[in-house]
Amino acid sequence: HSDMPEEMRVETMELCVTACEKFSNNNESAAKMIKETMDKKFGSSWHVVIGEGFGFEITHEVKNLLYLYFGGTLAVCVWKCS
């Protein structure tokens, strides 16, 4: 699920896949890599949660949310809220 503009969505999905592959045994490091990259590229206040079996309710800026599954069970939620 995403409400990001197409170009941002594609870049963010590629970043998430790269981070999850690079840090396949460390979700915290993958989330940190995604957050720091998003902060540099699209301005500050990005948040990232990576894990299995979690629920969430968030407030986010319009056109700044991405929620995807990686490898079947690993969920990645990226959003901006300042």
Look at the block and give the residue holding tokens 């929620």: 67
Q: Is the dihedral of CA 34, 40, 41, 44 positive or negative?
A: positive
Whether the Cβ atoms of residue 74 and residue 53 lie closer than 8 Å to each other: no
One-letter amino acid identity for 60?
A: H
Q: Which domains does the chain have, with CATH numbers?
A: 6-81 (3.30.740.10)
Taking the C-alpha atoms of residue 82 and residue 46, their distance in angstroms, rounded to an integer, is 8
Determine if the pTM surpasses 0.75. yes
One-letter amino acid identity for 13?
A: M
Q: pLDDT of 35-69, one tens digit each? A: 999 999 999 999 999 999 999 999 888 999 999 99
At residue 77, does pLDDT exceed 90?
A: yes
Q: What is the pLDDT of residue 82?
A: 79
